[in-house]
Structure formats: structure tokens, C-alpha cells
Amino acid sequence: MFKTLLVDDNDMFRQSLKSVLARHFPFMRIDEASTGAAALHHHREHQLVFMDIRLPDTNGLELTRRLKAARPSSLVCVITQFDIPEYREAANQSGASEFMVKDTLNEAAIVGLVEAMLAERARVLIVEDDAEVRAFLSALFEDCWPEVVVAEATWDQVSAATSLRPDLVLLDPRPGSEGLDQLRAIYWSKEAEAMVIMVGVDQPEQVAWALGRGIRHFVLKDEQLFDELVAAIGGQLQLPEAPRQCRLWPKGLSSRTPR
């Protein structure tokens, strides 16, 4: 799940920002914090942070430094009411990616900022009905390639999630004709890349359909074959080689029959 954190003690501003983000980026999980202490409670989890400078218990710039030290790949946008050159320079020195003034913020500016941030990162969509498998695959990216933007969806949520415009889709189709319809929908979607890595596909008709369209990556949920999935992900996204500990499919999941 792509996780965003809003750190601001103004409840009305947080809710307004959250509403805009949720409307345009439905694949996001959006958390809120009104204090620095609350932000630090789950600071390692979030890929995107909107940070106010003046907080009740700390300075947002110092908090930005702490967040970036804990998770260097996170993107932080400092937001403030005060357009002061010293603040801009301090935000840059703290590791913030962007600096925005609240009085100039509007929906278009917020959406444009997030889209620009996402465009700089590799983007992956995981489509999987099994929550445990989704969680494991998300953790795989977090451990091996934390800079990659990852969104999760069940098949019932996939239409909204493709607004991420992913570079790569990892999916586990349902069996039979329903699975074939799912593959066709993803393949022909203008919001998703054509190359799809399929996880747990063992239906011959689905394999034949995908092979006929140049899709070559099929990885069963098997402990021995999971290394192929990691290698395929890295190759498709041109990522550095993953550490060995990232390449093992958990036995508790590999023992399941692919759906």
C-alpha cells in the first residue's frame, strides 16, 4: 500500500488535504498526525509526507531530518504559512523534496506535486485477492527496493488502483474464464503497462493467451521458484539486484494452491 502521512496541527487543513489526495489517488492509504510525537510513532512506514513547520511539540524541519534519516527514500513536502527564504533553505537542508506555501495551495497544485513525485519513481501495482500475499509482496519491495512506489488492490478494487499508472503489474488472476477476462482487462488498459508478471498462474488457457501476447513471466507460489519472481521484477524495472534474504517465498504461503 502506498502510504502518505499528513503532519499538521490544523485539523481543517489536514482534512481538506486528505480529501483532495483521496479523491485523486484512491490507491493511497492516508494517515494523519497533529504532533511530532504522533508522526514519529509510525515514521518508517510512509513513502510520502506532508510536513508543517510549526508543530505544538517540535519543529517540522527537525522532524523532517529525523524522518529522512530513518527512511531516506521517503519524499517530504514541507508546507507552511510563511514564505520566508530562510525557511526554504532550511527545508532543503533538512532533506525535504518540496516546499509549498499554504496560501498558494489549491487542488491542482497538490495533484500536480504528487504526480510529479510519483513520476520520478518506479511504480508497481499488486493485484491479489489474498491479503497475506499482498502484504508479503509489499514487504518485499520495502526490504529490497524501498524507493519503488507500490500500490495494492484486490480484483474488485483494480479499476481505482490503475490510476497509479504503474510501470509494472504483479497479478494473480482468478481461475477460469473470469481470470482470462481479468488478464484481458489489465492488458488492454491504457492506464497500465503491457508487461505483466503473473504470480501463481497455473491455468493452461491463461498461460496460452498471455504467451500469445508476448508476456513471458510466470512464477508459481513455490519456494524454489520465487527467486525467478524477484529477478523478473528487478529486470523489468531495471533495479539493483536484491539481497538473497529477499528471495525466499514464505513456506506458509508457498504451500497454498495457486488460485
Dihedral angle of Cα 118, 46, 138, 247, to the nearest 10 degrees: 100
Please list, in sequence order, all residues whose beta carbon lies within 8 angstroms of the beta carbon of residue 30, skipping any fewer than 6 positions away. Answer: 4, 5, 6, 18, 21, 22
Sheet containing 149-153, strands listed edge to edge, beginning at the edge strand earlier in sequence = 149-153, 123-127, 168-171, 196-199, 218-219
- Provide the 10 A C-beta neighbour count for residue 56: 9
Residue pair 50/92 in contact (Cβ under 8 Å)? The answer is no
Mean pLDDT by 10 residues, the chain (259 residues): 90 95 91 93 82 94 92 91 91 94 91 89 88 84 84 86 81 80 74 58 71 67 64 80 61 45
Residues 93-125 pLDDT 10s:
999 999 999 988 899 999 998 998 888 888 888
Which of 3.40.50.2300, 3.40.190.10, 2.40.400.10, 3.30.70.20 is the CATH number of 123-254?
3.40.50.2300
- Rounded to a whole number of angstroms, the distance between the first and last alpha carbons of the chain is 22
Say how far residue 32 (Cα) sits from the centre of its chain.
17
Which of 3.40.50.410, 3.40.640.10, 3.40.50.2300, 3.30.420.40 is the CATH number of 2-119?
3.40.50.2300
Domain boundaries, the chain: 2-119, 123-254
Q: Residue 30 forms beta bridges with which residues?
A: 4
Residue pair 80/52 in contact (Cβ under 8 Å)? The answer is yes
- Return the beta strands (E) in the chain as ranges: 2-7, 28-33, 48-52, 75-80, 98-101, 123-127, 149-153, 168-171, 196-199, 218-219
Residue pair 32/194 in contact (Cβ under 8 Å)? The answer is no
Task: State how far the Cα of 128 lies from the Cα of 250, in Å rounded to an integer.
Answer: 16
> C-alpha cell of 29?
492509504
Task: Judge whether 2-119 and 123-254 match in fold.
Answer: yes
Please list, in sequence order, all residues whose beta carbon lies within 8 angstroms of the beta carbon of residue 16, skipping any fewer than 6 positions away. Answer: none
Q: What is the mean pLDDT of the chain?
A: 82
Residue type (1 letter), 227: D
